[in-house]
Amino acid sequence: MTAGRVRRLVAHEGRLLASIVRWVARRPHGVGPGPGRGRAFGYARGQGAMMFGFGFVCVLESACMAVLLRNHPAVHRVVLALDVYTLLLVVGLHAASVTRPHVLGDTVLRVRRAAHVDLRVPLSAITSVRRELVTTHERTEGRLDLAVAAQTTVTLELAAPVRHLTFLGRPRDVRVIRFHADESDALVRAIRDVMPALTPDPTPAPTLTQERTAPSPSPGRPG
C-alpha cells in the first residue's frame, strides 16, 4: 500500500473519531449560514438498527475473548485494546453519518456518506432530480450509488460529469448519482425550489373529444 493511501486511511479514521465528539456536542459539519454551508438533509435513520447490531456484536465478542484469554493476561490486553478501537470505529461510522448530512446550499449540493464521501455537485450541472426507490445496485460506469441499508431514494442526472474520489483516492467521473435521504421528498422539492427550471411544467389536461358513433343499421323488412 502506498504512502498516499495510508495517509487517506489515517485521515479517514481521524474523521470518524472526531465525528464522535461532534455527535456528543451536537455540532453537525457544514450546516448553517456561511460559505459552503446550507440546509441539512439526513440519511442515517435507516442504518441505526444495523449499526446497533454491529456494536452489540463487538461487545459480545470482547466478552467472549475475555473468558477465553483469562489465563493469558498480556494477550488479553492486546485483544481488548483492538476490540475497544473497533467499537469506537463502529460508533464513529454512525456518528459521521449523523453529523455529516447532505447539505443543500445556494449553488452546490454536497452529497455525503459518513466520513468517506463528500461530493460537491454544482446545482447548475443538475438536469434532473427525482425521488426513486432503488434496492439493487450494480456497479455501472459513470454512476455513483451511495446506498444506506441497501437502498437509495434520490436520483440526480448531470449535464456534465463531476469528479469523485474513491475511498483509496482513485478518480471516477460520474454523471448519475443515486443516494439515500431520510426525507427524500423534501430534498427533491428543495432542489427544485432552488432551481425552478427543474420543476416540470404542469401538463395540461387532455381535451376530451366525443367520438361520433356510426348510425345503427336499419332493421330489415319483416318477412
Give all strands of the β-sheet with 171-179 in edge-to-edge order: 126-134, 152-165, 171-179, 143-146
Q: How far apart are the first and last CA of the chain?
A: 101
pLDDT for 195 equals 81
pLDDT for 36 equals 63
17 Cβ partners below 8 Å, 6+ apart?
88, 92
Are 29 and 99 within 8 A, CB to CB?
A: yes
Per-residue pLDDT tens listing for the chain (223 residues): 677 788 888 899 999 999 999 999 999 998 877 666 789 999 999 888 889 998 999 999 999 999 999 899 999 999 999 999 999 999 999 999 999 999 999 899 999 999 999 999 999 999 999 999 998 778 889 999 999 988 999 999 999 999 999 888 889 999 999 999 999 999 999 999 988 766 554 444 343 334 344 454 544 444 4
pLDDT for 223 equals 41
- Cell numbers for 203: 401538463
Lookup result for grid cell 439515500:
180
Query: Which amino acid, 96?
Result: A
d(CA 195, CA 40): 17
d(CA 56, CA 50): 10
The predicted model scores a pTM of 0.81
- Cell numbers for 153: 431514494
Alpha helices in 124-183 (DSSP H): none
The alpha-carbon radius of gyration of the chain (Å, integer) is 26
d(CA 83, CA 85): 5
pLDDT for 176 equals 96
Where do the domains of the chain lie, and which CATH numbers do they carry?
Answer: 1-30+44-100 (no CATH), 32-42+102-198 (2.30.29)
- Cell numbers for 94: 454512525
